[in-house]
């Protein structure tokens, strides 16, 4: 306990300066020639935290990786940057991962979290009571602000269906998450879709939560992805990044309070000032998946789809019904457990340090 508290105090004082250097200036140490370079990409969201931890705690360097970091405000711009050669691996919502897989062959190689608990629909406090009396009647013709082709959009569409509505019954306006917060503050729009950390920011400014992915009965996986060119050329580097990333996942389980400090500082670095309590709530709320959970999620039996396949098929089917897709995709073409299996082999190699075994809880068969 004392060690964790000291580490947390150290994080508060030094994290911001160190991450600016590590993430954006990509300063390499004198021994960087011995490390393989890998470029990670994320968004201003918690799925970046395991990469943050891997950089800050030196786990990637232990694995022989020099990991640089960039982030994007939305999934589709992130996809396009990856295909243009600007990054190698990363995490994003499942809708852009699906669209990127269909259009560009972007590979989904695991799941970061499931996001149904942090995909909120919010409303102005003055409209809260009227909305809850009859959501269907109140929403008719109203303006809904959302980031389209996103996990939040999926949650919105599923909740509209639950309320007996379609997109034709409302006016959906695309905005990025920061713009949605500004619109709420200006009194523009009627219903607002926001995911963490933006949903917590809106709540802090008086918005009231009325629904999330759970209320619509859906599962919304966040995806770990790799660009096809890099994955084909360097499969072991992809697996090493996964190894470091998943070590961060277990750190969140083991030390949620300290992980919340890292998350808070990361959010500050990307311009989001969120209370520690909200960061801790997010750490605790979002389901996480260590290595064997990843393998179980992606395991296919006798040609049948895996559980992760089924989640993606359900999501793709919903966008198909909404006219966002022309045909149902074969998710098996761009979703693979190949790199997780390589990761497992790396973790069970005798040369791997014992601390890695302890962190992952790996037991040799």
CB of 220 closer than 8 Å to CB of 111: no
Domain containing 174 equals 117-216
Mean of per-residue pLDDT scores for the chain: 86
The answer to whether residues 167 and 183 belong to one domain is yes
Task: Tabulate helix, strand, coil % of the chain (nearest 5).
Answer: 55, 15, 30
Token code pair at residue 197: 């950390």
Range with lowest mean pLDDT among 138-147, 216-225, 243-252, 314-323: 314-323
- Per-residue pLDDT for 29 more than 50? no
According to DSSP, the residues that pair with 224 across neighbouring strands are 91, 110
**Confidence check: pLDDT of 165 > 80:** yes
> Does residue 40 surpass a pLDDT of 50?
yes
- Residues 133 and 84 grouped into a single domain: no
Residue 60: pLDDT above 50? yes
- Domain presence at residue 34: yes
Identify the domain boundary among 216, 241, 274: 216
State whether 58 and 123 are in the same domain: no
For residue 359, name the pLDDT band (cuts at 50, 70, 90): very low
Name the token pair of 210.
């009325």
**181 — pLDDT class (breaks 50, 70, 90):** very high
Whether residues 96 and 227 share a domain: the answer is: yes
Q: How confident is the model at residue 6 (pLDDT cuts 50, 70, 90)?
A: very low
- The reply to whether 195 falls in a domain is yes
Domain endpoint, select from 169, 184, 216: 216
Over range 31-54, report the average pLDDT.
88
Question: Is there a single domain that holds both residue 27 and residue 78?
Answer: yes
**Are 73 and 44 a contacting pair, CB within 8 Å?**
yes
Q: Are residues 38 and 77 in the same domain?
A: yes
Q: Which pLDDT does position 17 carry in this prediction? A: 36
Q: Are residues 193 and 329 in the same domain?
A: no
Residue (of 58, 94, 88) closest to 75 by Cα position: 94
Overall domain count for the chain: 2
Shared domain for 228 and 326, answered yes or no, is yes
**pLDDT recorded at residue 350:** 54
If asked whether residues 238 and 350 sit together in one domain, one would say yes
Q: Are residues 246 and 331 in the same domain?
A: yes
CATH number of the domain encompassing residue 21: 3.40.190.10
* Max intra-chain CA distance, the chain: 65
Q: How far apart are CA 60 and CA 68, in angstroms?
A: 10
pLDDT at 115: 87
The residue ranking higher by pLDDT, 232 or 75, is 232
Q: β-pairing, 107-114 with 191-195?
A: unpaired
Q: Give domain status of residue 365, yes or no.
A: no
- Contacting residues for 304 by C-beta, under 8 A, at least 6 apart: none
Residue 323 in this model has a pLDDT that exceeds 50: yes
| 205 in a structural domain | yes
Domain end, chosen from 165, 195, 216, is at 216
Ranking 44-53, 70-79, 155-164, 165-174 by mean pLDDT, the lowest is 70-79
The answer to whether 306 and 221 are in contact (CB under 8 A) is no
Q: Return the pLDDT at 352.
A: 45
- Residue 326 in any domain: the answer is yes
Residues 318-337: what's their mean pLDDT?
Answer: 90
**Is position 324 within any domain?**
yes
Are 272 and 124 part of one and the same domain?
Answer: no
Q: What pLDDT is recorded for position 162?
A: 95
Is residue 98 in a domain? yes
158 inside domain: yes
Each residue's pLDDT tens digit, 195-205: 988 999 999 99
Residues of the chain with pLDDT > 90, as a percent, come to 69
| Residue range 104-163, pLDDT digits in tens | 999 999 999 888 988 999 999 999 999 999 999 999 999 999 998 778 888 999 999 999
Q: Can you give the pLDDT at residue 365?
A: 29
Q: Tell me, yes or no, whether 48 and 103 share the same domain.
A: yes
C-alpha neighbours within 13 Å on the C-beta side of residue 112: 28
Is residue 32 very low, low, confident or very high in pLDDT (cuts 50, 70, 90)?
very low
**340/167: higher pLDDT:** 340
Please say if the pLDDT value at position 174 is more than 70: yes
């Amino acid at each position: 306990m004392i060690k964790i508290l000291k580490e947390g105090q150290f994080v508060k004082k030094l994290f911001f300066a160190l991450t600016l250097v590590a993430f954006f200036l990509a300063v390499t140490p004198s021994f960087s020639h011995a490390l393989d370079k890998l470029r990670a990409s994320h968004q201003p969201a918690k799925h970046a935290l395991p990469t943050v931890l891997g950089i800050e705690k030196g786990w990637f360097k232990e694995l022989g990786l020099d990991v640089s970091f960039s982030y994007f405000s939305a999934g589709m711009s992130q996809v396009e940057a990856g295909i243009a050669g600007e990054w190698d691996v990363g995490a994003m919502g499942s809708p852009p991962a699906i669209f990127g897989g269909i259009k560009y062959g972007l590979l989904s190689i695991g799941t970061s979290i499931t996001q149904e608990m942090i995909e909120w629909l919010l409303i102005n406090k003055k409209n809260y009571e009227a909305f809850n009396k009859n959501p269907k009647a109140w929403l008719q013709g109203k303006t809904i602000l959302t980031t389209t082709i996103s996990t939040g959009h999926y949650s919105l569409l599923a909740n509209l269906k639950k309320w007996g509505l379609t997109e034709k019954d409302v006016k959906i306006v695309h905005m990025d998450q920061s713009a949605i917060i500004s619109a709420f503050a200006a009194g523009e729009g009627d219903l607002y879709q926001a995911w963490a950390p933006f949903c917590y920011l809106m709540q802090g400014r008086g918005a009231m939560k009325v629904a999330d992915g759970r209320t619509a009965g859906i599962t919304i996986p966040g995806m770990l992805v790799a660009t096809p060119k890099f994955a084909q050329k360097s499969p072991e580097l992809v697996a090493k990044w996964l190894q470091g990333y998943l070590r961060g996942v277990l750190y969140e389980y083991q030390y949620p309070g300290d992980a919340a400090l890292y998350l808070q500082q990361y959010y500050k670095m990307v311009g989001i000032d969120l209370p520690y309590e909200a960061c801790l709530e997010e750490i605790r709320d979002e389901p996480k998946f260590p290595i064997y959970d990843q393998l179980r999620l992606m395991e296919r039996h006798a040609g049948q789809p895996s559980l992760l396949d089924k989640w993606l098929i359900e999501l793709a089917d919903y966008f198909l019904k909404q006219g966002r897709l022309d045909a149902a995709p074969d998710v098996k073409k761009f979703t693979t457990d190949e790199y997780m299996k390589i990761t497992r082999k790396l973790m069970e190699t005798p040369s791997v340090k014992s601390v890695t075994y302890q962190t992952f809880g790996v037991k040799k068969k």
